[in-house]
Structure 1
Amino acid sequence: MLKSVRVKNITVAEAKNASEMMYLGSNLPVLPITMWDDKLIGDGNVGRLTLALSDLLYEDMLSGPERTPISYAKKVFSNK
């Protein structure tokens, strides 16, 4: 479904004319964007690629390796 990825700057007009749009963040799931400034993105529905990437990410999080607990207890450091 996804044949390639590239990174480049695009204009707002190009973005608003996208067939599909999603927000990806480090601590969020894949969030579909279906409207921008009262203009539908694509047909206004969550796109197939957005759904597929969301499913893959969720599946990866469930089946991935066990998490390593990290202690965030306050530590005191010395300059010596």
Structure 2
Amino acid sequence: MPYFTWQDKGLSEDCHSLAAMAARFEEAAALMRRLDQDGFLLEPQGGQQHIIHTDPAVFAAFGFLDEAGPGRQLELVES
């Protein structure tokens, strides 16, 4: 199942004001709400937050990069 890892470590490190930080957090929250509405799920895995979708086409439509292992990645490469 395709997934990406949500990391907020650098979410606001480049912001120069509290207003900029607030805007960045609001943008992230809006994205989380949209993902939820479109059927994405949160799957805690090994201390990380993986965001998954059961339909690879929906996952790809958002432009996310699949962080599945190398074997899974190779399936995406056509020879």
* TM-score normalized by the length of structure 1: 0.33
Higher helix share: 2
